């Protein structure tokens, strides 16, 4: 059974828990005491020298970074549904994985880190980035149900959590009805699991 070194309040850890639930992969959850600094100590730092979560272990495979873990889970257990092998379709999914790693991380995620967890970040810059991102997402989702393809993929799993948790970073989704509808569609997927404040 794969293991996930996990922080319940982390959207990045949640992405992994969510995809595993959606593709029916049981996980051994190993909670990490973030406040005690356990992510910077053995065994976590031995598995991920960056001292960050999540860390995913499947036999001899050890992965860090939630987007990389989503790719692995999708290819191993999710098949074509979650990460297609067609070059164009795969590239469209990967485009949105990069958005999760950049615009979502530096926008809604940073705003949440500042407001909820007290990280010393430029909250105004994070909110400005979030506003731009939410406008792009809302326009994209005005004509389609899902971000990358005509079905849910790991693109949606990668981007949705921190957007949906935006309220914890002082962001309102009231003006972005297409984004709200997309979050609601994701919550209705068979096997969906939630996290605190979602």
| For the chain, percent of residues with pLDDT exceeding 70 | 100
Task: For residue 119, give every residue at least 6 positions away whose Cβ sits within 8 Å of its Cβ, in sequence order, or none.
Answer: 110, 113
What confidence score (pLDDT) does residue 108 get? Answer: 98
What pLDDT digit, counting tens, does each position of 22-75 carry?
Answer: 999 999 999 998 878 888 889 999 999 999 999 999 999 999 999 999 999 999
Average pLDDT over residues 174-197: 97
Mean pLDDT of the chain: 96
* The three-state (H, E, C) secondary structure of 10-23, written as one string: CHHHHHHHHHHHHC
What confidence score (pLDDT) does residue 36 get? Answer: 84
Query: Is the whole-model pTM more than 0.85?
Result: yes
Place domain 3-79 in its CATH homologous superfamily.
Glutaredoxin (3.40.30.10)
Q: Which of 3, 5, 61, 65 is nearest to 33 (CA)?
A: 5
> 3-79 and 87-187 share one CATH topology?
no
What confidence score (pLDDT) does residue 35 get? Answer: 79
What confidence score (pLDDT) does residue 34 get? Answer: 82
Provide the residue ranges of all domains of the chain, joining segments of one domain with +.
Answer: 3-79, 87-187
What pLDDT digit, counting tens, does each position of 102-143 carry?
Answer: 999 999 999 999 999 999 999 999 999 999 999 999 999 999
**Residue 183 near residue 164 (C-beta atoms within 8 A):** yes
CATH code of domain 87-187:
1.20.1050.10
């Amino acid at each position: 059974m794969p293991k996930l070194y996990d922080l319940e309040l982390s959207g990045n850890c949640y992405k992994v828990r969510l995809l595993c639930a959606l593709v029916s992969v049981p996980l051994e959850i190993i909670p990490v005491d973030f406040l005690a600094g356990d992510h910077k100590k053995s065994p976590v730092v031995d598995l991920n020298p960056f001292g960050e979560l999540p860390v995913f272990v499947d036999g001899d495979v050890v992965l860090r970074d939630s987007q990389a873990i989503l790719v692995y889970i999708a290819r191993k257990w999710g098949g074509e549904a979650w990460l297609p092998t067609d070059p164009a379709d795969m590239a469209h999914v990967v485009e949105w994985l990069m958005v999760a790693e950049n615009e979502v991380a530096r926008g809604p995620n940073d705003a949440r880190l500042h407001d909820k967890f007290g990280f010393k970040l430029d909250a105004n810059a994070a909110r400005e980035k979030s506003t731009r991102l939410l406008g792009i997402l809302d326009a994209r989702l005005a004509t389609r149900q899902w971000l990358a393809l005509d079905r849910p993929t790991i693109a949606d799993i990668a981007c949705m959590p921190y957007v949906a948790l935006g309220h914890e970073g002082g962001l309102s989704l009231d003006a972005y009805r297409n984004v709200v509808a997309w979050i609601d569609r994701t919550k209705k997927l068979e096997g969906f699991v939630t996290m605190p404040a979602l």
